[in-house]
Each structure stands twice: as structure tokens, then as C-alpha cells.
Structure 1
Amino acid sequence: MNHAKRNLIYFIFQTIFGIIALLFFLFGDFTDNHSKDMLSGIGIAFTITGTIGIITITKLLKDPKKAAKIEMAQTEERTQFIKTKTKSFVYTIMIYLESAIIIVTGLLGFRTICITLSAIVLLKVILNLIFSSYYIKKY
């Protein structure tokens, strides 16, 4: 039940964020259409996915047996292990991919993109080291 309630709260905030973005789109004063179009896309996407999530979780909460079954599947040790391995593998692939993109953008002369991506990769590596050392000491 906790998992479903947390997801419901998440979807409510997501819907609220989407509605706020749509209100800014409708009533905001923009000098360029690019920002306005981007804001409308973000608002529509967040509102639709949040609403669908709220409907889905509400249906799930009406069936306690199904909610308990899903809660157990989400908190099962095997599922947690698979999630952890997947996140680790995706992180490793993304570091190499981002590094290759940094090299390509640097060689092509896109200095701003190269520096921005370098800062993001450096931040990811630093955060990984910080949290790794924290969890090593904790566990």
C-alpha cells in the first residue's frame, strides 16, 4: 500500500506541475515562441501523464489484494537486485557514451556543448564517488 500511496502523491505533484506550466503558457508574456511552445509541451505532457497515473493508482487502491501483490513484487529482494544492476549498467554505458560525445563535440568545435557535457559527466562521477564512499561506510 505504501508504494501505491507514494506513487499517487508523485502523480498529484506531477499533475500540479503540468497545470502550472499550462497556466504560464496561457497567461505568460513571452518574447519568443520557442519558450512558449516548449512550456506548452511540458505542461501538456506532465498533465496527461499525471492524470493517467492518478486514475491508474486510484483503481489500484480500490483493490487491496492487487495492491498488496504489487507492493510485494516491488519490495522483493530479487526485484531490488535487478533494479540496482540495471541502474549500474546504464550509468556505466552513459558515462562512456557521454565521454565519446564530449570528444566529438570538442573536435567539431562546439565549445559550449563540450564544456556543458564535461561538467555534467564530472558532476555525475563526483556524486558517484561521494555516495559510494558514504554507502561503504554505512553498510
Structure 2
Amino acid sequence: MLREINNIDEVLAEKIYNIWKDSVLNTHDFLLKEDFDFYKVYVKEAILNLKYILVIEENGKIVGFLTPDFENNNINMLFISSKMINKGYGRTLIEYGIKNLNLNKVDVNEDNIKALKFYEKMGFKFKSRSSKDDFGKNYPILHMELK
């Protein structure tokens, strides 16, 4: 079940953070430990400051989420609990985001091959590349857009 949430409290933020952490630890094998430690501080704070989040639940438990950048029609974050990957939850979140939130762009780590293939399967195409991420770290980012 999809649910749009406009009020992120500390309990929800912790659940979302734990999904992010689990997903990253199980899918971002290219990420250095010190960089993971850096990002987790930023992500925890960013989640607390969200004004909107789209979550997907199974049996009343959140198993994934999407955060949009409405100004730029961009998917900021899309993470699924590692045990729930490849069960259609990411597709459901993306399709809802495209149809109902007007999202048509996404940035993905170049080294995250599974995510890259997933977004390509969803219709996103390569637009441009940045050699570093938004924090100046050496993780190339591919900017993708629906065509």
C-alpha cells in the first residue's frame, strides 16, 4: 500500500533512516566505510527535515520510500529494504511518482549498476554525468531523464 506523508516525526524518521541504512549497506558495495559514516549523518538530518515522503507498506510495515524534489521534478531518494528488493516495490513507487508527482528525472551513482539498470528499465535515459557527487566525493553521478 502506498501512503503519502506530509508530517515526518522522529519515529517515522527513524524507520525511514533504518531502511536507507539497510539498503545502502546491502547495495552500495562501492561505498567506502568512512563515506558511509559521513552520509549517514547527513541523511538522518535530511529525513527529519522532509516535508513530504511517499512510503510503501506491506502488512502495515514500511518497506520502502521515495522522496521527491518537486521544484526540479527529480527523484531525490528511492530506497527499499534489502529483503524486499526485486518484489515490485521500487517500480510501484516510481510509477506513482511519474504519474502523480510529475517526476521525470533521477540521479544515480554510476557504480550502482543494479539501480542504473532498474532506472533504465523504468524508461530513464542517460542525460549527463558529474565526476563527483553533491558533496565533492569521488562517486560519479549519472543524471537521467524520462524520454
TM-score (norm 2): 0.25
Higher strand share: 2
TM-score (norm 1): 0.27
Larger Rg belongs to: 1
